[in-house]
Amino acid sequence: VPDLPELAAARDRNIPIVAWQDLIGELMGEASGQRIAVAGTHGKSTVTALLGHLLTHAGADPTVFVGALVSDWQASVRSGRGEVFVVEADEYAGNFLPYHPSLTVLTTIEMDHPDVFADETAVVDMFERFVRGMSGDEPRLAIPTADPGTARLVARLADWHGRMLPYGPGSDVDAQDVALGPDGMRFALAGHQFNAPLYGAHNVLNATAALVTARELGIDLGGLVEPMATFRGVARRLELIADTAGVLVFDDYAHHPTEVRAALSGARQRVGRRRLWAVIEPHTHARTRTMFDEYALAFDQADEVVVADVFAARDSDTSSPSPEDLADAIERTSAVPALATGSVEETAAYVADHLVAGDAVVTLGIGGSYRIARSIADALALRPRTD
């Protein structure tokens, strides 16, 4: 925001202005120990926060930068005195290029941010540029072996001088005996049994990524069983906003079709047979237009779908299909009732009016969707008690 008062005051006083990515890059460069980046299209915040949580309980006292509020810290940054520096590394417009980690954890690579990337090849190009900019004589790259986008990157790195750390299905570091239930997930890894209050199969892979990284740092996984069970997650990742009037209200940051599918799968795991409402505020016209068909397929775990107006961040072209078009495509493709309801305020009012005791609702998106969840919760709290 060019006219932000703080920026104007800094200019008036000739105070240097540094982009936050460059500042974190400088801090990472000054770190004397392990410099770790968590990168990928999905799951970065959860893996970064979980890794920070595990390292903290293991006594490493790390410094951690997360792109979301971490429940246990009530902050997105943890300032530590140890020799481990961990940062969530965002690929958007090359935001992560100032970082030069010695160890990178990749989660997934998939087409996203169509306002800055023309196609998946451009996305992979950016990740390759990042990996080749890693520091150290033998940088390490933790890779999910079953992810097609990551496989495309690995195929380009035959001449790379670093070391790969495969994890997930098809590797020697793969979760076994996975059980997903209403209280969370359970799995075995490297001879240890882990439990975590996390939901969805995607979070088993996220937990595996954090554990393989901790093990690479020399931490005994047996000592991480207890802290894994106490991880409370990050804000807006299937976050329970309210349990009121017999209705569960959740909020989730999911905005990419893959994330929507994963969030709803986790929600279904958590709420069981309750009627599940999915309320999405599509984020950017560019993403809605580019991924329209994928969105139509992402809602099969829901019983009711509500589509709010598109949140037009950074959009110069607002010619994407309308919310009504998206609702119609979801209903036709996924056989789930879907309706476009207008603004954030109109959407919250509609959903609150139609919820009944025993329902669950999850709001999805980046822009103003969290306000929908809060407004629904407030409306439900005003209902007269029936007991």
pLDDT digits (tens, 9 = 90+) for 147-184: 999 999 999 999 999 999 999 999 999 999 999 999 99
* Whether the predicted pLDDT of 387 surpasses 60: no
The distance in angstroms from the start CA to the end CA of the chain is: 50
Which tens digits make up the pLDDT trace of 174-210?
999 999 999 999 999 999 999 999 999 999 999 999 9
* Whether the predicted pLDDT of 385 surpasses 70: no
The pLDDT assigned to 1 comes to 62
- Put residue 363 in one of left, alpha, beta given phi > 0 → left and psi -120 to 50 → alpha: beta
* Whether the predicted pLDDT of 104 surpasses 70: yes
Beta carbons of 80 and 95 less than 8 angstroms apart: no
- Of the chain, the percentage scoring pLDDT greater than 90 comes to 90
The pLDDT assigned to 319 comes to 81
User: What span, in angstroms and rounded, lies between the C-alpha atoms of 7 and 1?
Assistant: 9
Buried b (16+ CB within 10 A) or exposed e, 351-367: bbeebeeebbbbbbbbb
The pLDDT assigned to 26 comes to 92
316 confidence band (pLDDT: 50, 70, 90): confident
Residue range 28-36: mean pLDDT, rounded? 92
Q: Give me 41's structure tokens.
A: 């299209």
The pLDDT assigned to 383 comes to 81
Buried b (16+ CB within 10 A) or exposed e, 308-333: bbbbbeebeeeebbebeebbbbbbeb
Beta carbons of 143 and 180 less than 8 angstroms apart: no
Long-range contacts, stretch 323-328, CB < 8 angstroms, 24+ apart:
323/282, 325/292, 326/282, 326/288, 326/292, 326/295, 326/296
Q: Give me 363's structure tokens.
A: 């709001």
* Whether the predicted pLDDT of 4 surpasses 70: yes
Which tens digits make up the pLDDT trace of 183-192?
999 999 999 9
Residue range 94-107: mean pLDDT, rounded? 97
Nearest-Å Rg of the Cα atoms of the chain is 21
Nearest to 79 by CA among 17, 1, 29, 27: 27
The pLDDT assigned to 367 comes to 87
Helix or strand or coil: residue 189?
Answer: strand
* Whether the predicted pLDDT of 17 surpasses 60: yes
Q: What is the mean pLDDT of the chain?
A: 95
The pLDDT assigned to 32 comes to 85
Q: Give me 191's structure tokens.
A: 């001879």
* Whether the predicted pLDDT of 113 surpasses 60: yes
Farthest CA pair distance, the chain? 68
* Whether the predicted pLDDT of 320 surpasses 90: no
* Whether the predicted pLDDT of 100 surpasses 80: yes
Which tens digits make up the pLDDT trace of 337-376?
999 999 999 999 999 999 999 999 999 999 889 999 999 9
The pLDDT assigned to 3 comes to 80
* Whether the predicted pLDDT of 331 surpasses 70: yes
In this structure, are strands 63-70 and 75-78 parallel, antiparallel, or unpaired?
antiparallel
Identity at 211, one-letter amino acid code? L
Residue range 124-144: mean pLDDT, rounded? 97
